[in-house]
């Protein structure tokens, strides 16, 4: 009788809902390290910050959020602040992770401070008769900057920003062309959720072809493309959209372990508040994985 009772107890534990949840949960890949706060990259926090912080204030804000990497976007008025921005980041143990577009004044600062940021540049959308002509024309436009980046020990990230140049297949094609035809192995892809609402349905396939070249993946709350009108619904906090959870699950299941970026990009908000919304939203998405 004792043996029978013991056997029934074991069976009840194994078959209990709690244990089934544990078993099913164990089958899912764990959340990788690149999704942890200390690895995330803050993006679009300079011209879009409602508080218009100074370099010192911005570095302190990033540090207070627990972030350690910044992709630096700028406008002409910020050019005189480039060096101070770098100094403040180094003072606060923040990585000057990436730089938007290009400005010649950055080159001596890269050498002086021994930094090697990714250079992010929109992939052009050339007017050419055939697909191959477009690939070659886009690559030709990028060649000088790609070579400059390589000389400085930096990677060049082709950034999706709409049009022909915003399509994943074209990002991959130009990246491959520059690598194969010009030996520019420093060229890769920076993919942004907020410029990819129209890619939601095909995201698993598109992510798979981009993954070998991906330098950074910037997250966003995602709604169907038909609900995006200009800036309306384009920038959405993570967790407030309908599709980002499944897209993030695709990324985790893929084994991607590269950099992950979080957006501010909301003129009406304090950048700290906007980033915190995305940090909290990402935590919730990761905690509630199905």
Domain for residue 12, yes or no?
no
Comparing 7 with 106, the larger pLDDT belongs to: 106
Phi, psi of 100, deg, nearest 5: -80, 130
- Residue 27 has a pLDDT of 65
Q: With respect to residue 126, please indicate whether it lies within any of the assigned structural domains.
A: no
- Residues 41-58 have pLDDT tens digits of 999 999 999 999 999 999
Radius of gyration of the chain (CA): 22
**pLDDT category of residue 15 using cuts at 50, 70 and 90:** very low
Question: Residues 186, 213: contact at Cβ < 8 Å?
Answer: no
CA 62/CA 271 separation, integer angstroms: 9
Range of the structural domain that residue 103 is part of: 33-120+193-287
What stretch of H or E contains 85? Answer: helix 82-91
pLDDT tens, 249-283? 999 999 999 999 999 999 999 999 999 999 999 99
- 29 band by pLDDT with thresholds 50, 70 and 90: confident
| pLDDT tens digit sequence for 181-231 | 999 999 999 999 999 999 999 999 999 999 999 999 999 999 999 999 888
Domain annotation covers residue 183: no
90: closest CA among 71, 109, 110, 113?
113
- Contact between 63 and 92 under an 8 Å Cβ cutoff? The reply is yes
Q: Is residue 144 part of a domain?
A: no
The structural domain count of the chain equals: 1
Neighbours of 268 (CB within 10 A): 7
Model pLDDT, residue 230: 83
7 has a pLDDT exceeding 80: no
Strands (E), the chain: 41-43, 69-72, 95-100, 118-122, 156-159, 187-192, 214-218, 260-263
Write down the pLDDT at residue 10.
39
| Tokens at 241, concatenated | 């959209």
- Which pair of tokens denotes residue 97? 């992770």
**How much of the chain exceeds pLDDT 90, in percent?**
87
Q: 168 and 174 in contact (C-beta within 8 Å)?
A: no
* Domain presence at residue 137: no
H or E, element range at 58: helix 55-64
Please give the average per-residue pLDDT across 118-137, as a whole number: 98
- Can you tell me the distance from the alpha carbon of 238 to that of 235, in angstroms, rounded to the nearest whole number? 9
Determine the distance from the C-alpha atom of residue 85 to the mean position of all C-alpha atoms in its chain, rounded to a whole number: 21
Tell me, yes or no, whether 48 lies in a domain.
yes
Report how far residue 76's alpha carbon sits from residue 61's, in angstroms, rounded to the nearest whole number: 22
What is the sign of the dihedral through the CA atoms of 78, 79, 84 and 90? Answer: positive
Residue 242 lies in a domain: yes
In the predicted structure, residue 112 carries a pLDDT above the cut 90: yes
Q: Domain containing 255 — which CATH number?
A: 3.20.20.150
Q: What is the average per-residue pLDDT within 100-119?
A: 98
**What gap in Å lies between CA 29 and CA 35, rounded to an integer?**
13
What pLDDT is recorded for position 231? 81
* Domain-embedded: residue 27: no
> Is residue 1 over pLDDT 60?
no
Q: Confidence band (pLDDT; 50, 70, 90) for 28? A: confident
């Amino acid at each position: 009788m004792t043996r029978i009772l013991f056997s029934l107890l074991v069976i009840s534990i194994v078959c209990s809902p709690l244990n089934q949840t544990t078993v099913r949960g164990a089958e899912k890949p764990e959340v990788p390290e690149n999704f942890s706060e200390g690895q995330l990259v803050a993006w679009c926090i300079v011209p879009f910050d409602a508080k218009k912080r100074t370099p010192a204030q911005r570095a302190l804000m990033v540090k207070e959020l627990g972030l350690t990497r910044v992709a630096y976007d700028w406008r002409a008025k910020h050019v005189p602040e480039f060096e101070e921005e770098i100094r403040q980041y180094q003072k606060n143990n923040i990585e000057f992770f990436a730089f938007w577009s290009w400005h010649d004044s950055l080159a001596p600062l890269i050498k002086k401070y021994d930094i090697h940021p990714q250079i992010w540049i929109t992939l052009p959308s050339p007017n050419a008769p055939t697909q191959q002509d477009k690939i070659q024309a886009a690559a030709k436009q990028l060649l000088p900057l790609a070579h400059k980046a390589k000389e400085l020990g930096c990677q060049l990230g082709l950034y999706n920003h709409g049009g022909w140049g915003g399509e994943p297949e074209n990002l991959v094609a130009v990246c491959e062309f520059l690598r194969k035809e010009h030996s520019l192995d420093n060229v890769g892809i920076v993919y942004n959720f907020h410029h990819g609402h129209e890619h939601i349905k095909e995201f698993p396939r598109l992510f798979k072809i981009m993954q070998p070249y991906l330098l950074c993946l910037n997250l966003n709350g995602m709604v169907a493309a038909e609900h995006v009108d200009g800036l309306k619904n384009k920038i959405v906090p993570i967790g407030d959209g309908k599709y980002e959870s499944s897209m993030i699950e695709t990324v985790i299941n893929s084994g991607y372990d590269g950099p992950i970026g979080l957006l501010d990009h909301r003129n009406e908000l304090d950048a700290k508040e906007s980033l915190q919304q995305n940090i909290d939203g990402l935590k919730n998405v990761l905690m509630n994985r199905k």
